[in-house]
Amino acid sequence: MITKEQVMEALKHVKDPELNRSLVELNMIRNIRIENSRVSLDVILTIQGCPLKFKIKEDVEHALKNLGAEQVDISFGAMTDEERAALSASLRKQAQPQPGQAVPAILAQDSKTEFIAVASGKGGVGKSTVTVNLAVSLARAGKKVGLIDADIYGFSVPDMMGIEQRPVVIGETILPVERFGVKVMSMGFFVEDNAPVVWRGPMLGKMLRNFFTEVHWGELDYMLLDLPPGTGDMALDVHQLIPQSKEIIVTTPHATASFVAARAGAMAIRTNHEVLGVVENMSWYENKNGEKEYVFGRGGGEKLAQELKVELLAQIPLGAPVNNPDDPDYSPSVYPEDHPTGRLYQELADKIIKKVPVIER
């Protein structure tokens, strides 16, 4: 006969998919009743109507059937406000700076998360497109990936990835929204109806900091940051807040773009950020006959890479992903895995994984 202890032991290995912590540890399992080979229990979710309820149900059933249960009856409930507040407090404790440390845990010296910021000199060269697709490709390669849309005014990541839901908030802790295996945080989640953001200077840096202290990221191998264009305040904030961050510089093949991008590269070097390499975007257009037309000129990426003494990591042609808006996997900017450009991004991700190996835990 199965015992309650065995049930609890088995469920220690079932994790809440959002919080990535065991249901037992989160005190979500209650009221276990066992009659012969039938197990009934209550699962107390963080919020009513939790979108991941079905995944949790499946995992609990699976774990208990492995234990020998023939029938598993689960009743779902939701935490009380007090329980949620307590959980939030314990999650925040994880994210907040440890005693004696000035920075949140994910930014601390011994953090296992590699930060990669994507920068450019000029706007509109495809930073966000590159960040989003690199993040998705790293996730496709099995890595745990976060993405911060650090473009507080010009946020575009949620839209580009086709994210329609808003983050779940538990007490005062925000859970990032997961899409294509990437955990995403953006100012866009907190702005109503695309209203303009009117904060100035110091507020911006504070917001970015909040994205680390108030957001429950869990364990991440890579955190990508989509920077606002140029070498302005925000870019400087990022440099100061995340001194260990590495950088990818995006440019178009046009000589002027790469000239301007060199400034972003120079700033990275001045602030001791390692530049991993250059991505040239909009490199060419492939016409109907399969010929490459270099509509934005040629050689900008190569020239910039030489100037910064780094590798030209990828050249991405012009062409948007062809996606069907009715598809649940629809997104305006993410290339499918089997799309030629999707494959280029996969190669880019593989290069990044080699250059910046995942830190073993």
Query: Among all chains, which residue has been given the structure tokens 């598809």?
Result: 327
- Say whether residue 333 binds ligand ATP (CB under 6 A): yes
Task: Choose which of 126, 146, 167, 300 interacts with ligand ATP (CB under 6 A).
Answer: 126
Cβ-based neighbours of 39, under 8 Å, separated by 6 or more: 2, 7, 32, 33, 64, 69, 71, 72, 73
Residue type, 269: I
Piece of 128-136, 207-215, 277-285, 309-317 that binds Mg ion (CB under 5 A): 128-136
Residue 68 vs 124, nearer CB to ligand ATP: 124
127 carries a ligand binding annotation: yes
- Say whether residue 254 binds ligand ATP (CB under 6 A): no
> How far is residue 252's CA from residue 256's CA, in Å, rounded to a whole number?
9
- Say whether residue 173 binds Mg ion (CB under 5 A): no
> How far is residue 142's CA from residue 25's CA, in Å, rounded to a whole number?
26
- Say whether residue 133 binds ligand ATP (CB under 6 A): no
> How far is residue 83's CA from residue 215's CA, in Å, rounded to a whole number?
18
Task: Choose which of 51, 68, 77, 123 interacts with ligand ATP (CB under 6 A).
Answer: 123
**CA proximity to 282, closest of 264, 258, 311:** 258
- Say whether residue 252 binds Mg ion (CB under 5 A): no
Task: Choose which of 46, 120, 128, 245 interacts with Mg ion (CB under 5 A).
Answer: 128
Whether 221 and 143 have beta carbons less than 8 Å apart is answered as: yes
Strands (E), the chain: 15-16, 21-22, 29-35, 38-45, 71-78, 114-119, 145-149, 169-170, 173-174, 177-179, 182-186, 222-226, 246-251, 275-281, 285-286, 292-293, 312-316
Q: With CB cut-offs between 5 and 8 Å by kind, which of Mg ion, ligand ATP, none does residue 318 bind?
A: ligand ATP
Question: 268 to 297, contacts with ligand ATP by CB under 6 A?
Answer: 281-282
> For Mg ion, which residue has the nearest CB?
128
To Mg ion, the closest distance from the beta carbon of 127 in angstroms equals 5
> How far is residue 20's CA from residue 216's CA, in Å, rounded to a whole number?
10
- Say whether residue 231 binds ligand ATP (CB under 6 A): no
128 carries a ligand binding annotation: yes
Task: Choose which of 15, 127, 216, 246 interacts with ligand ATP (CB under 6 A).
Answer: 127
Task: Choose which of 154, 297, 299, 336 interacts with ligand ATP (CB under 6 A).
Answer: 154
121 carries a ligand binding annotation: yes
Binding site for ligand ATP (CB under 6 A): 120, 123-129, 151, 154, 156, 229, 281-282, 316, 318-320, 333
Binding site for ATP: what residues are annotated?
121-128
Binding site for Mg ion (CB under 5 A): 127-128
